[in-house]
Homo-oligomer: A and B are copies of this chain.
Amino acid sequence: MNIGDVADLSGLPAKTIRYYEDIGLVAPLRSSNGYRSFRQSDVHKLAFLGRARALGFTIEDCRSLLKLYADTERASAEVKEIAEVHLERIDGKIAELTEMRATLSHLVKACAGDQRPDCPILADLAMENKADPGKKASG
């Protein structure tokens, strides 16, 4: 199979598939004309990668997961460990974003959003209410 077909099947852009070959995640064969020639197993791998990436796993996670997948002697504990670390990463990000969201939505609500220059958003960013912008807030 050529890269275009594999792109259609796996849902990954051809560019991405080439990149994955570059970094050693897949190793398709080559036809005599120089075209990459993908086997079913390559397509399977790429689909696996697509789903792992969709779950937010890093490329290095994906590399480890592929290795574990290939190893029928693996302990599921190793897979679970990777997933748990990733889950915590996600939780961290969600927490961070949720905090940002809270502050930001508060500010957006407070802003009139009209033609006047007065703006609580800018005021907050500039800490205009703060007398001494160099010390930590006391509250």
Contact of A100 among B84, B90, B125, B126 (CB under 8 A): B90
Contact of A103 among B55, B69, B93, B119 (CB under 8 A): B55
Which size class do A's interface residues fall under?
A: 35 or more
* A interface SS class: helix
Copies in the assembly, this chain: 2
Contact of A121 among B54, B56, B79 (CB under 8 A): B79
Q: Is the CB of A133 within 8 A of B44?
A: yes
Given known A-B contacts A83-B108, A94-B101, A126 and B9 have beta carbons under 8 A apart: no
Q: Is the CB of A94 within 8 A of B105?
A: no
A53-83 near B? 1/0 per residue, CB < 8 Å: 0111000000001001101111111011101
